[in-house]
Structure 1
Amino acid sequence: MTCSPSEHVERAQDEFEVQMAAFCTYLRDVRNLSPNTTRAYETDLQAYVDWCRREGIDPLRITHSEVRSWLAELQDAGYATTTQNRHLSAVRSLYKWLVSRGVTTQDNVEAVASPKLSRRLPKTLSPDEVVRLLDACEEDTCGVRDRAMVELLYASGARISEVSGLNVVDVDLRGRQVRLFGKGSKERLVPLYPKACEACGRYIREARPELAAASRAAQNALFLSVRGRRMSAASLRLAFEALVGKAGLDPSITPHAMRHTFATQLLDGGADLRSVQELLGHESLSTTQIYTHVSIERLKAAALQAHPRSGE
């Protein structure tokens, strides 16, 4: 019995959704991506499948113009350019995987240009603003904890999710370094300056035991809440935002601004891009190039120093 065109499309959509689930399992079990990253893929890909069903499109034979229509809908819905690119990246990865498995031979998504990102750079903090942020920390238990958090963010350029995942043993005060686990559970060691070690050491000795006493369960987590539990990335972010408000700083400053500040100040201080890439935990150097910027003064100094005729 011959299927009608609509029945054929529905079967293709069902098959595509099954393959999508298999792809997400692959990301989790083979690529070893974090639960948060895998969940983000699942959410974005499911939204794409829902769009295909709503528009009556066969996702295994999607055309170039249909892909552009999907992107146009994301734009019309008011999604930021970064969000549009994230959706497109997820769908591209899925189609690349499907082609490698022989599920489909068509990959018109790969041919579609990514929406252009704004050249606006993330906000960074000046050294004086960092001092104001630290001065906003009280001398009580939570204040000692928050000071250690700010110093650690500033010293390591860690993502807030990485800080949330830290255990006490990951901070080596004697060796002045912290062990971070980035995307895909990739491990890296980042050196810490003395003041960061002092702040973390004081927190571990004085404040953390008080917080740990609030929970009956043994906790290995470095940063604990008032209930003695591991602080999530969201709760750390809230604590950071509270300090920003108390310090009277720009409300748009986030923990990620500390990461960008870390990277740009290293570059301004003469660090090479490869070293910054390793410290940030970026797989690709191009990611670091987009993520960081170099001051005009350093560029001028580098040009004058390197050019053979600069001394003439």
Structure 2
Amino acid sequence: MGRRRVVGQIRVQEIFLTGSRRSWTILWPEGAVHEEADRFLCRYDGEPGTQRTYAYLLVDHLRWLEREALHLAAVRLRDLQRYMGIVGAEVRIPLGEPWRVGKRPYGTATLGTAASVLKAFYLGLSNEHRSAELRRDLDRVRLPSKADRDRALLGHVKSTMSANPLAPRHSGRRHPKMLPDDGRGRLLKKVSTARDRMIVTWLYDGGFRIGEMCGLHLADLHLRENTECAQARAAHVHICHREANANKARAKTKHPWELVNGVVHGGLIRRVSPEMVHTYFAYMTTEYPRAAATGHGMLLVQLAGEEYGQPLSTAGARSMFRRAGLRAGLGRVHPHQARHNFATAVLDASGGNLTIARDAGGWASSATVDEIYGHTDIHAPQFDAALRKVWGEQ
């Protein structure tokens, strides 16, 4: 790694390319490129969202190495396990000094991603920095599970699967943190603009991720029946992944889409409720600036200050939602909680149909819906009645 640098000053650098494309790399304090990190991140040049996430997870680890005075070639599996424990994983070894003081530990999904990043990074090191012992410890295999076979094409012929000794243990089912039943009404009473009422309504009725909502363009909205795209008879929206949005909001899904004679085709198509259409027209006719429609053309804009009319960022939307939650007495709430409420409501209304819930909320697989939302609500009347019958109370 060369001479010692100032601890914690390794940084992520965003690079602007032609055609509104972006890339990320990692630099030393003096501005030199971290060659091993850059070699790893270059593998994801065509996936900017993935590359950005991996860059920030990797730079945290590289800063930790600097603090611990560890060279890449000296890192062993126990060091990586210790690092994973420091950022939030459950490990049964001494961890040493705290890291990321004042920041929350990684969640389960982030820990899984961090484990994948560390394994791929160390297995891909050049000969100068590669440790044969660490490579042997990381390059493990396991027998395929039923889920592996279900996901894989011709999965029945797979005899082994790659294993990651750094990956956190899965708890089986995840229990999402949802808003209370009256949360929607309480939030709507506390927001003060038509735009914010639209955001709350769309989050609840459409199950949108906040990146999807803030990334919507007016052209994506087909809010009447039998629109020109001919891809859905009812009112709907097309969620299109765009890297060049002025507010840097991006949809998580990357379904192919195109603009044909000014009409959006493709993307991820989601249905729209009558109340969503109503709040949209209230916002467009009272608050939306005309200049925004002919300029950037994005749906959500800022309504005050020097940035009036500019696209609303995901941070701005989250901040609005959080403030409304505090005023409504709901505590510190997040837009994604409304997505959890939406998924649970769709499952209840469809009799537990995972396919309907998957398509309504835009999940990649029914297994994801089942893992997060498929468990029984312990407060449901049917659940309560079953237990009371067992207990002999009825």
Question: SS where residue 166 of structure 1 aligns?
Answer: coil
State whether structure 2 residue 309 is matched by structure 1 residue 228. Answer: yes
Q: Is the 8 A contact 1:148 1:203 kept in 2?
A: yes
Q: What amino acid does structure 1 have at the position aligned with 2:198?
A: A
1:168, distance to aligned residue in structure 2 (A): 1.1
Q: Which residue of 1 aligns with 2:377?
A: 295
Aligned partners of 1:112, 1:17: CA distance in 2, in Å?
24
Q: Deviation per CA, 1:253-307, whole angstroms, max 9, x where unpaired?
A: 2111111111111112225223333443433544434433542448859x9xxxx
Give matches, 1:161-176, under 5 Å: 161-174=211-224, 175-176=234-235
Say if 1:273 and 1:39 are closer, same or farther in 2 by CA, change over 3 A: same
Say if 1:212 and 1:230 are closer, same or farther in 2 by CA, change over 3 A: farther
Q: Is the 8 A contact 1:212 1:219 kept in 2?
A: no
Q: Which residue of 2 aligns with 1:93?
A: 117
Q: Is the 8 A contact 1:96 1:107 kept in 2?
A: no
Q: What amino acid does structure 2 have at the position aligned with 1:260?
A: H
Q: Is the 8 A contact 2:116 2:167 kept in 1?
A: no
Q: Which residue of 2 aligns with 1:147?
A: 197
Structure 2 residue ranges without an equivalent (≥5): 6-27, 89-97, 139-163, 225-233, 241-250, 256-266, 387-394
Aligned partners of 1:67, 1:167: CA distance in 2, in Å?
43
Q: Is the 8 A contact 1:237 1:254 kept in 2?
A: yes
* Identity level (%): 23
How many pairs were matched up?
281
Which of 187, 191, 196 lines up with 1:133 in the alignment?
187
User: Could you say what the CA RMSD is over the residues aligned between the two structures, in angstroms?
Assistant: 3.8
> Would you tell me which structure has more strand in proportion to its own residues?
2
Q: What amino acid does structure 2 have at the position aligned with 1:20?
A: A
Q: TM-score, normalised by structure 1?
A: 0.74
Which of 71, 76, 79 lines up with 1:66 in the alignment?
79
State whether structure 2 residue 168 is matched by structure 1 residue 114. Answer: yes
Give matches, 1:246-257, under 5 Å: 246=327, 248-257=328-337
Say if 1:137 and 1:280 are closer, same or farther in 2 by CA, change over 3 A: same
Give matches, 1:1-312, under 5 Å: 17-27=34-44, 29-30=45-46, 32-34=47-49, 37-59=50-72, 62-75=75-88, 76-77=98-99, 80-83=104-107, 86-87=110-111, 89-93=113-117, 95-96=119-120, 99=123, 106=135, 108-109=137-138, 110-114=164-168, 121-138=175-192, 143-174=193-224, 175-181=234-240, 182-183=251-252, 185-186=254-255, 187-208=267-288, 211-213=289-291, 218-226=295-303, 227-246=308-327, 248-269=328-349, 270-292=351-373, 293-296=375-378, 297=380
Of residues 50-59 and 264-273 in structure 1, the stretch that sits farther from structure 2 once superposed is: 50-59
Q: Which residue of 1 aligns with 2:21?
A: none
Q: Is the 8 A contact 1:129 1:249 kept in 2?
A: no
Question: SS where residue 82 of structure 1 aligns?
Answer: coil
Q: TM-score, normalised by structure 2?
A: 0.60
Larger relative contact order (C-alpha < 8 A, sep ≥ 6)? 1
Q: Is the 8 A contact 1:157 1:263 kept in 2?
A: yes
Q: Deviation per CA, 1:6-62, whole angstroms, max 9, x where unpaired?
A: 97xx9xxx9x942322332332x33x242xx53332121012123234434454574
1:119, distance to aligned residue in structure 2 (A): 7.5
Q: What amino acid does structure 2 have at the position aligned with 1:55?
A: E
Structure 1 residue ranges without an equivalent (≥5): 1-5, 304-312
